[in-house]
Structure 1
């Protein structure tokens, strides 16, 4: 391999992220080095300096960048992967969509983003072919895109080996494929015609395309966002939101479900997974940036803290405390209005009422946290961080505030500080399940598989002690059973990689 220095790898990693969206933290520099060494060999580049100089000058859409993408995005998939998603499509989403369009606009539009070698879009096409008997009378459009030209070529050919069928029933090959060689099978023409393959860079999309990338009913982007930096993943998600119809669906992998990444969408919990639906309410949407999930403020769960961290008290434990003075009527009104406006996503109005609360009661930590969430939901993460810092100063032992801070820091791409905030959460509440789950995801992003497995294992053990229908605070509506399924699927995927 070419002996790249640490500084050169940092430059290359940043450039690859900017052009392709692929995120290579230090924990994955070994993978990066192997990929760029192979690409350099094909491009005839032999020295680290020459490669860095070439990468800085190369246009994003050049043939050479396609070569680099080929070595950095070698995907592996198979038909009907993560079958629970296809069960939801088969039993719920497709029947509803077909019924609503039958007899009127008999059109269905789907985008498979990051389609790799094509098993996913063909799986979608096969499912629709089975569900719509008169499919020849429908206009079914399935756009399948990827940045890697080699996998797109294979996908267009539609020829697969037994390995691509490893979790499928016999009817699939028998009905929808033709054996073209020993152990090789080609998709039948009726299905192949339903899918169009093209190269598409999700991070740097072309200003125009001969294909119509708009008004999709469903976008599938599975096992793709996890390789992007947080900022670029948010940008791609916003791009998807703009290209979906009202009530359209965004489907990601179970390992990519996040309370922070999909603020524009409504998370819909199914027994097997969580999917995201575009729901634009009657109110004018004010958010223009990332949204932090709006959890209800939970009571503090402080256990066994050092005395120095406990709130100061005066007098003996059994001392009779004076009854607090009643709150001013305006205070209660402003507080309730702020909370109501927040739930209606009228963040600016909620902030106005919240600031009136703080004029009357300057140390109201819960209201500071509410203002932090309002700021985040409007895209002002710097202000959100400042309000959250004030809430923490007012009540240092509230784990919810430290978790809120970790969410904001993740949105700001300050992963190191986010990890420290999550560690503070666990210091205050060792059973804070989402803190363990987030630490697992952050470890996974950094390529620290052993630490990710450890944190996900702790998450599973905590969830096992809770009721299946118990809602998890700060999760955007997930209950214990749903999160347990997500973690189980993540652990299974990690087992495949090890």
Structure 2
């Protein structure tokens, strides 16, 4: 495909869907566009572009629905992100139940719901938390751009792969085993509604202004640029009731102006609450400047290098009294806490770093490592993809993500990552040191990737 025409396609896709096509995905996109053009019997790709560009035409609108299914490959499973599930189960949903104990009404939106696992997971939580749920009026709506995913969600039929990490007893209670897979029970299916919608182009018409108690939009904003994140965020804020909640993927709103949302930080996750009229906070009196020795930071580094992580954290916190937004010091605290196995403290510190430096690869790397050590491979992949979104040339991130996909026997994704990593290594001298694990030369990595390629 002509490079100029491909760039025009990319710009058109960004305008219409908000999806940002990364440089490493261009060749795959070109193939998908060519396939669709041939399927419609166009002799020239420029004719296919003209069809898409004519957005008001009925044929154009239909083709955008098809193309959206081709270029979005959202993958989900039940009770994904145990940290946020715990917050929903133990804090957010019980609080909303108390708030609405009189009117017994809840409005919940899952935006970017993929094939519906997240929406059904919410329905299960509600059934387990609310006694006599049939006396409540609950609107639980899932939206997604991909019409094939929405069709699957409406069907409610899932394979074993969607239940990884789900207790067998819970699965058997809410799903019926069939020859084709696991079918959602009718009682649960009646609780939910699914619609095909474009968050960028469409208004969110399933709920009225300030009527939604909870919006969940995870792993969607990583595909949008800054302006389109802001556009969709404003739509969400318009929908939320005062004190309503928004949950996104970890760090997806870093660098965005989120007011009037209030940021609430928990060990499990950062969440957002609509607070249109926050109480006035009087400024605290200025404390006297603490007396901190000038070599405190060097002492903290020495303690860390010697494995004295408790001393390293104590000294670093002293240093932060003089430099409260020093992300380097916070990084040392986070890594020391992780080395002690204090993962909740390490995760919280990483989020503090990202609030100061939204593009901090070190914080995202550490979050990925913690997620992997806790067995949440999908969350680890999410953090690594976030690094690559911010820095498409991060060889260590490609290598870590490659290892995870290879471990999960996802050979197609692993091979694409391997090819990209190998291409980036081709531009580096053999003796260069790549900060991967404990540091390794380019020549050694090339040999490693060649061996890994044979095993895929």
Both structures adopt the same fold (TM-score exceeding 0.5): yes
Q: Flag the 1:74–1:130 CA change in 2: closer, same or farther, 3 A.
A: same
The aligned counterpart of 2:105 is 107
The aligned counterpart of 1:274 is 270
Q: Deviations for 1:11-51, whole angstroms, at most 9, x for unmatched residues?
A: 11110010111111323213322332333233333422222
TM-score (norm 2): 0.64
Identify unmatched segments of 5+ residues in structure 1. 285-298, 304-399, 404-428, 435-457
The aligned counterpart of 1:50 is 47
| 2:195 is aligned with 1:198 | yes
Q: Flag the 1:55–1:488 CA change in 2: closer, same or farther, 3 A.
A: farther
| 2:29 is aligned with 1:32 | yes
Please report how far the alpha carbon of residue 257 of structure 1 lies from its aligned counterpart in structure 2 after TM superposition: 4.6
| 2:390 is aligned with 1:491 | no
The 5 A counterparts of 1:415-494 are: 431=328, 468=346, 472=352, 475=355, 484-485=366-367, 488-489=370-371, 491-493=380-382, 494=401
RCO comparison, higher one (Cα < 8 Å, 6+): 1
Please report how far the alpha carbon of residue 492 of structure 1 lies from its aligned counterpart in structure 2 after TM superposition: 3.7
| 1-structure distance, mates of 2:8, 2:369 | 34
TM-score (norm 1): 0.59
| 2-structure distance, mates of 1:145, 1:83 | 22
Matched-pair contact (CA < 8 Å) for 2:230–2:256: no
| 1-structure distance, mates of 2:232, 2:68 | 18
| 1-structure distance, mates of 2:172, 2:247 | 28
The aligned counterpart of 1:169 is 167
Q: Deviations for 1:173-204, whole angstroms, at most 9, x for unmatched residues?
A: 2100111215x011111111111111111001
The aligned counterpart of 1:89 is 88
Please report how far the alpha carbon of residue 246 of structure 1 lies from its aligned counterpart in structure 2 after TM superposition: 0.6
Aligned length: 331
Matched-pair contact (CA < 8 Å) for 1:20–1:203: yes
Please report how far the alpha carbon of residue 117 of structure 1 lies from its aligned counterpart in structure 2 after TM superposition: 0.6
Q: Which moved more, 1:187-196 or 1:251-260?
A: 251-260
The aligned counterpart of 1:79 is 78
What is the DSSP-based 3-state SS (H/G/I as helix, E as strand, rest coil) of the residue aligned with 1:254?
Answer: coil
User: Considering only aligned residues, what root-mean-square deviation do their CA atoms show, in Å?
Assistant: 3.6
Q: Deviations for 1:90-141, whole angstroms, at most 9, x for unmatched residues?
A: 0111111112211x11011100001111001000001101111210000111
The aligned counterpart of 2:440 is none
Matched-pair contact (CA < 8 Å) for 1:431–1:462: no
Please report how far the alpha carbon of residue 211 of structure 1 lies from its aligned counterpart in structure 2 after TM superposition: 5.8
Identify unmatched segments of 5+ residues in structure 2. 281-291, 298-322, 372-378, 383-400, 406-412, 415-456
| 1-structure distance, mates of 2:327, 2:279 | 39
Matched-pair contact (CA < 8 Å) for 1:257–1:274: no
Instruction: Look at both structures and tell me which one has the larger radius of gyration over its CA atoms.
Output: 1
Matched-pair contact (CA < 8 Å) for 1:218–1:248: yes
Q: Deviations for 1:358-384, whole angstroms, at most 9, x for unmatched residues?
A: xxxxxxxxxxxxxxxxxxxxxxxxxxx
Q: Deviations for 1:204-225, whole angstroms, at most 9, x for unmatched residues?
A: 114x846657511000111111
